[in-house]
Structure 1
Amino acid sequence: MTLSQTTIAFHTLTFHDDLPELRDVEKRLTNFLKTTREKAQRAEIAAGRTTDDDRVYAYDLIDDADKQRIKGRAIWFLERQQAASGMQHLSAENRVRLTALRGGLPVARVATEHEADEIAAALHAEMPWMSQATEAVWHGLRASAREGLPGLRFNPLVLVGSPGIGKSHWARRLAHHLAVPTTMIDATGEPATFALVGSQRGWSSATPGKLMQTVLRNRHGGPLVIVDEVEKAGDVHSSRGTRHSLTDALLPLLERMTAATWECPFFQIKCDMSWVNWVMTANSRQGLPEPLQSRCQVLDLPDLTMGQLRQFAEMEGARRCLPDPAMEALMDVFDFGAIANTGLSLRTVSRMLDRAETLAYQPMLN
């Protein structure tokens, strides 16, 4: 489904095409001053207050003191132009990287409540066991349409449940149905704080975070960010003893008002991240910081039943166009209880489908 879009300002930068060189500004100011003084001189002669014998030639109308003042004015003008852009502190390379923001950025919007209903219905049909999460998003989408918002919003979600029930998969399918780009942060891997928001320029490893990279790469102001296993995110301590936590990085982005003026640590520019939506996953509530929980809708999701796993295998097999014999053999595994009470998850069912697909399409040996 392709949703309509609205363009938001996203930033306060001013892009100046082909800013003039200092010498060009000086030349324009010099010519203007010469022309002004020549006009004044002609007017004096015409009025009889001076004569042609007193005329000052054009090359003498500008003295060294004038040239110094002109240069100072030219420098001041260019400094003001650079300051107005909001990018005077950036290198030429990074200014080029920010040209993706020129003219603002699109965000997806839900035009009608009926459109919100269609999105929720499609998502529920794929993963009915995630109905709590789908319903939470559904209410947010309907409210976005009802209020006529330029983009779509729903409360930040924390999906709590056993591994393998499809939390991350559901989030990726949500992004698909919303027609928005997505990025994933693994809270247990790389330092999640810097992975999300980046680090300040001046550090040897300084780089924009995945959030800003996603915005620039896709030229979209409202991606979906998935933070996996958020309860396991640890703190990062610098050599100076400064603590950096994922929660500290997330909190200003989860609040709509502060997200609207969020400052990128790397580019050091203010951006409107208030149209970014968030889905975080956790295996348990233990380890979830209270400030994070207070800003999110935390949903406790049940484990999958054997019937739900079978339904997933049937739908995914159809999507992969597995031949009927392969699907019948796979369904028999569920129907005859060959895998009951073995702690199956969507991951293991997906591996079963991968194996069935490989066997179904492998070449016949003579």
Structure 2
Amino acid sequence: MTDRPPSSARIPLLLNAFPPPDVSAAVLERRLVSHLGKLRSAHGVTGAEEVHCDPAGAIDTCEHNRWRADPETPVAFGQNDWFKIRRRVRRLREARKAANPFARLKAEERERLEALRDGVRLASVPNEHRADELAAELHADFPWLAPATEALWHALRRSAREGLPGVRMRPLLLDGPPGIGKSVWARRLAGLLGTPATVIEASNENASFGIVGSQRAWGGSQPGQVIEDMLRNRVGNPVVVIDEVEKAGSARSTKGHAFDLCASLLPLLEPATATRWTCPFYEQPFDMSWIMWVLTANKAELLPEPLLSRCPPIRLRNPTVPELVAFVQREGGRRELSDAAVSALVAVLEHPSLRNHPLNVRTVIRMLERAADLDNRPLLH
């Protein structure tokens, strides 16, 4: 079965309204002059005590110290008129700038956010039958991760049943031995839904900044990887994987402030706060409530209680040898490995010496990659 194509449903990701295009001072002057000219013409006023031609050349039509609002009705403007018009223009531009929520951003940052003017798409499932198919395909690939697939299955069916514009899934915390394929499962989920996947290693020193970004006032500030990927892909419900979340340390700013990854995640995992989450870099509110979070852990008991209350751990087990054999056969077909290569890998997995020390998914994937390299190497003469 092929991956499902992206859906056409769209939602606003950036919650601040985009301001209208900037209007130059010259254009505003013309508008005010035209409006004032029409008012005076309507009241039969066609002259001014002191006629003054615009010295800056902001008004293109200036003939014989006279600007005509209507070709048939000559209306003259004096120095006081120009002073009032330009003062009004200045105030209008200042008011527009003060009301612009993007005024503090640099030009390239505003341009980056312009990609969100038309919203972002959502990956969705059209009906519960399609939800059943996706869950069945994922379970066939990872039967030992059945509890995780079951939680996803219910989320897919609920999204279709309630007629949501996209798939909405509660954050998942996959807890199990290392190397059993938790992150691979999450990436396969993204592929089946036709949505991007962002993988962040929690053990990275800057993992907290990588998720939420840093405040723009700090040295070396930058937006988080999650927001950047959403801007690039224009998808509102990507799969975001936080790998080995219990190994996260505290990130520090250049001024020595400590930031804990788990604490940074809490507002994003809580629907009430995720619907209007303010990015510390862009200083704009975003709707992050559609993100499909998949947290992986080897020892979930090490995580703080606030995180566990939002993501009850789903306990997972090691795959059996027959399950690994089936995984190799399916993956070998996807990678177009030769029958001889697949048979050799199966023979390794079933060797008696590994009976008490079975291989895990991580090792098996490396074996598959090595077999693909050998299958596709050029012939030597």
TM-score, scaled to structure 2: 0.86
Distance 1:362 1:4 in 2: 39
1:358 partner amino acid: D
Aligned with residue 142 of structure 2, among 93, 111, 127:
127
SS of the residue aligned with 1:41? coil
Counterpart in 2 of 1:86? 101
Counterpart in 2 of 1:48? none
Distance 1:363 1:111 in 2: 45
Cα shift readout 1:142-200 (whole Å, capped 9, x = no counterpart): 11111111221111011111111000000000111111111111111141111001111
Counterpart in 1 of 2:270? 255
Following superposition, the deviation at residue 22 of structure 1 comes to 1.6
Following superposition, the deviation at residue 38 of structure 1 comes to 3.4
Contact 1:14 1:84 in 2 (8 A): no
Counterpart in 2 of 1:75? 90
1:200 and 2:215 matched: yes
Q: How does 1:200-219 map to 2 (within 5 A)?
A: 200-219=215-234
Cα shift readout 1:241-283 (whole Å, capped 9, x = no counterpart): 5331112211111111211111111111111111111001111
Does 337-346 or 207-216 show the bigger shift? Answer: 337-346
Could you say what the CA RMSD is over the residues aligned between the two structures, in angstroms? 2.5
Following superposition, the deviation at residue 365 of structure 1 comes to 4.8
Counterpart in 2 of 1:292? 307
1:269 and 2:284 matched: yes
Residue segments in structure 1 that go unaligned for 5+ positions in a row: 44-51
Counterpart in 2 of 1:357? 372
Aligned with residue 30 of structure 1, among 30, 33, 45:
33
Distance 1:12 1:76 in 2: 27
Contact 2:211 2:225 in 1 (8 A): yes
Aligned with residue 246 of structure 2, among 208, 231, 241:
231
Contact 1:9 1:103 in 2 (8 A): yes
Contact 1:188 1:232 in 2 (8 A): yes
Counterpart in 1 of 2:62? none
SS of the residue aligned with 1:154? coil
Following superposition, the deviation at residue 73 of structure 1 comes to 2.2
Aligned with residue 328 of structure 1, among 332, 338, 343:
343
SS of the residue aligned with 2:121? strand
Distance 1:138 1:122 in 2: 11
Aligned with residue 41 of structure 1, among 39, 44, 48:
44
Aligned with residue 14 of structure 1, among 14, 17, 20:
17
Cα shift readout 1:292-323 (whole Å, capped 9, x = no counterpart): 11011311111222222222122111222221
Total equivalences in the alignment: 358
Cα shift readout 1:13-45 (whole Å, capped 9, x = no counterpart): 3335642112321232123213322332359xx
Counterpart in 2 of 1:4? 7
Distance 1:197 1:139 in 2: 29
2:93 partner amino acid: L
Does 132-141 or 190-199 show the bigger shift? Answer: 190-199
Distance 2:172 2:281 in 1: 27
2:325 partner amino acid: R
Cα shift readout 1:31-86 (whole Å, capped 9, x = no counterpart): 3213322332359xxxxxxxx9x998856843444333322322333344445542
Distance 1:38 1:4 in 2: 56
Residue segments in structure 2 that go unaligned for 5+ positions in a row: 52-64, 68-74
TM-score, scaled to structure 1: 0.90
Counterpart in 1 of 2:167? 152
Higher helix share: 1
Distance 2:228 2:313 in 1: 27
1:303 and 2:318 matched: yes
1:66 partner amino acid: D
Contact 1:108 1:222 in 2 (8 A): yes
Distance 1:118 1:169 in 2: 19
Evaluate the alpha carbon distance shift between residue 300 and residue 90 of structure 1 in structure 2; reply closer, same or farther with a 3 A threshold: same
What percentage of aligned pairs have identical amino acids? 45
Evaluate the alpha carbon distance shift between residue 239 and residue 103 of structure 1 in structure 2; reply closer, same or farther with a 3 A threshold: closer
Contact 2:221 2:281 in 1 (8 A): yes
Cα shift readout 1:302-355 (whole Å, capped 9, x = no counterpart): 122222222212211122222122222222223342422235111211222233
